Structure 1
Amino acid sequence: MHFSLFLGQAVSGWPHDTAAIDLGIEQAHYADEHGFTAVYSGEQHFNDYEPYGDGLGMSAYFAGQLNNAYVGLSVVPLVVHHPLLFIQRVNLLDQLAKGKSIVGISAGRPLQGAAFHVADLTPPERAALFDAKLDVVERAWAHRPGEKLEFDTGRESGSIGGRSGERIMPYSYRDPHPLYAIGTNTPAKITEAGRSGRLVHLGPFPLRAAADMAALYRRALTEGGADDAAVAHAMSWLIHTKMVMVADTDAEAWDHAEEAFRGPLTTPPWIHPTAEEQGKPLREVWKLPTGPIAPAMGRPESLSAYLHRIIIVGSPGTVAREVAAYGDAGLPHMHLRFAFGSAADPGIYRRSLELFATEVMPKVGSSLIPGPTTDQIRAEYRP
């Protein structure tokens, strides 16, 4: 299996920003040294989640420091970016990482709020705008000096390449473009991405639903004409997100999970605990029937469904069994958060990551995804 670290901590306000960022940097280096495939940053705006905010900046910081892992982004809401400026920053990241970069892009969450207010967007505009910007991005990656690229997304318009010396800069290190994935939780978008040969990044799902999405994606890749090697490559990057809390015993792990879910991880407003869930500790809620899940953030679901979707808790043996079940179900790449809320002692997060790397990963087996081969690097940059 492949494991990626996701720097997705939430904080209880600005005084905790520095500690959260520093802990993320510390965990990134630990993961790089202990067999993790990638270190992913996200992108958030005007809230207390992922307090570094600028995932591209965070990933660029890591690009020259990590020795083994890819630098990744999951996910960038493409709808709030100018597509050519986005290309410029992503290509630079790929240069800095020497082709070991991957960026997930999405239309953003329907109820994300502030970012869309700033961009003057309404939720119904998102899908069409995303597709228009993705078209520009893909054409820009294929651009060559001397060619004219014209674009109009409905929000930005213009051209590049019409004058001497005018070009995309820099070009990516990997040829013909950096690795990129569509961040989505919807079957229609997963199918569309698979049939077009694009990579996919998933959010948090419980086992059965995640397995269904993986099978759907695999079928779509085959329907689109992908050969066995292309399918294997795409499936290796089909990340799905989980929080993980590992401790020496199951009971201790649940104690730490309760601590981590204080403060900024108090029950989100779209979670509607059932009458039976009210007032119970998380370990008891976990045992209750889940009801329907809601993978799109902001859609109502029970607290039990939310927990089963987002978190794995337990001793190394318990966590290893759950992780192995995902691999057995056709999901070979897990995207894992080991720091949640800033109200908890960071020592429990350090210990959780250490136990996962030293006791869980050896039990289930882990491997890295190689960097680009010589023929996947632009000819001008080949050693």
Structure 2
Amino acid sequence: MRLGYFAMPLHPAGRNWSDTLREDREAVILADRLGFHDAFIGEHLTDRHENITNSLVFLATLISDTDQIRLATGTTNLSQQHPVLVAANSAMFDHLSNGRFILGVSPGALPSDAEVLGILDQDRNEMFAEAIDVITAVWDSEPPYALVQPGGRFAVTTEKTYDPELGVGILPKPLQQPRPEIVGTVVAPFSKGVIAMGARNFHPLSANFLLPQWVATHWPNYVQGKESVGETADPQDWRVARTVFVADDDATAQAYARDDANSPYRFYYSQMLTKMRKIGRLELFKSRRDQPDDEVTLDSVLDQLVITGTPEAVAEQILQFQDETGGFGELVYAGLDWVDPELARRSMELMAEKVMPLVNAGESK
């Protein structure tokens, strides 16, 4: 099993923006040194806690400071910019990073982002579907372009201005051929979008805030999508994110990951719980769909979703989780605010150097 990294990221209000950006960069640089396979970075425009506004710009600052880790948008919100910009900028990034780029995509879920861009009342899922068609078509096509979908929002053409001798009317292609890996984040139980991912050879990343029984609903849908085009699904293509904290002793692990009032894990899930309750998606944290809302508490969420303890205990919990969900190719470690930088770094070190060898040894039994 590979080890990946994902950060939304989410920081307490009042922290200096420059400091948190520097901290987020340090985490990815550390992940690279520790041998993490990839790093997914999220983006939002209007959330003061999640303060990376453009994941591609942020990741560009890491190209020269990392050696092997693959740099992934986690995600590029496709309803928020023209797909030609995504295709062209991603292609350039792929060349700058010498083929270490992964395009992570989603519609963009934060309502305040949609409002500030004037698209709150539009169907962002439909915009997403159209945008991904344009991006892949741009990479697959040769100029002059005539990518026009009937009734679509995006008409991509250079037929009037194409001049091959002058070299204009030509969009760039990525270094990786036929295209970089495309990954879609999955946040809903029984997601139908995973079927489409399978049919199009995109790869799923199941969100870290889903209970194991909801994560387990993703793989059968992905298999269905692959079978619809006559292909076989490979579990190595499935990434599953989890919220993990590893410490040298259990007392430190329990305090920092759950019990302490200043725990970044408690802060993270307090924010997530409040947001999901507000937008009517509290079912993500329910063990059954008819569970009463008042049974969903912060402590219950922490108990169910935070994997913590010594390396041995964490490895055992991950293997138990895998028994519930089925096999997958990559465990994606969720990065949070570094309330205690020493503990945060130590957790990543223990995860890479102690936990994953135990997990992979346990898988082989």
Q: TM-score range by the shorter chain?
A: 0.7 to 0.9
- Cα deviation for residue 211 of structure 1 reads 2.5
Moved more, 64-73 or 145-154: 145-154
Q: 2:182 aligns with which of 169, 180, 183?
A: 180
Higher relative contact order (CA closer than 8 Å, sequence separation 6+): 1
CA 1:51–1:312 in 2, change beyond 3 Å: closer, same or farther?
same
Q: In structure 2, do the counterparts of structure 1 residues 185 and 271 end up closer, same or farther at CA, with 3 Å as the change threshold?
A: closer
Partner of 1:339: 336
- Aligned letter for 2:139? W
**TM-score normalised per structure 1:** 0.78
8 Å contact 1:36–1:69 — kept in the other structure? yes
Equivalent residue of 1:43, what SS?
coil
1:320 aligns with 2:315: yes
| Displacement of 1:56 | 0.4
2:88 is aligned with 1:93: no
- 1:175-324 equivalence runs, <5 A: 175-186=177-188, 187-204=191-208, 205-227=210-232, 231-232=233-234, 235-257=235-257, 258=260, 259-261=263-265, 266-267=270-271, 268-270=273-275, 291-292=287-288, 301-303=296-298, 306-307=301-302, 310-324=305-319
Tell me if structure 1 keeps the 8 A contact 2:44–2:54. yes
Per the alignment, residue 365 of structure 1 pairs with 360
Give the 3 Å change call, closer, same or farther, for CA 216–337 of structure 1 in structure 2: same
**Structure 1's 155 and 13: CA in aligned 2 closer, same or farther, altered over 3 A?**
farther
Structure 2 stretches lacking a partner, 5+ long:
278-284
Counterpart of 2:58 in structure 1 is 58
State the Cα deviation string for residues 184-205 of structure 1 (Å, max 9, x = none).
Answer: 3342111122133322222122
Instruction: Kindly provide the amino acid, as one letter, of the partner of residue 350 in structure 1.
Output: R
Quick check: 1:149 aligned with 2:147? yes
CA contact (8 A) 1:214 1:330 kept: no
Alignment partner, residue 159 of structure 1: 157
- Name 1:118's counterpart in structure 2: 116
> Which has the larger displacement, 321-330 or 148-157?
148-157
Contact 1:211 1:330 in 2 (8 A): no
**1:121-164 deviation digits (Å, cap 9, x = unpaired):** 23661122111222211211112134433467754545235421
Per-residue CA deviations over 1:161-216 (Å, capped at 9, x if unaligned) read: 54213344431001122211233334211112213332222212222322231233
Q: Please state how far the C-alpha of 1:67 moved relative to its aligned partner.
A: 1.6
Partners of 2:237 and 2:328 within 8 A in 1 = no
Change (3 A) 1:207 1:4: same
- CA deviation after TM superposition for structure 1 residue 13, in Å: 2.9
Residue in 2 that maps onto 1:171: 173
SS state of the match for residue 104, structure 1?
A: strand
Indicate how the Cα distance of structure 1 residues 193 and 330 shifts in structure 2: closer, same or farther if over 3 A, else same. same
Structure 1 residues without counterparts, runs of 5 or longer: 273-288, 295-299, 367-383
Alpha-carbon distance in structure 1 between the residues aligned to 2:158 and 2:225: 34
Query: Distance in 1 between the 2:203 and 2:151 partners?
Result: 23
Do the aligned residues in 1 keep the contact of 2:8 with 2:74 (CA within 8 Å)? no
**What SS does the aligned partner of 2:74 have?**
strand
What amino acid sits opposite 2:288 in the alignment? Answer: P
- How many residue pairs get aligned? The number is 336
Aligned to 2:280: none
Q: Distance in 1 between matches of 2:117 and 2:47?
A: 16
Distance 1:38 1:17 in 2: 24
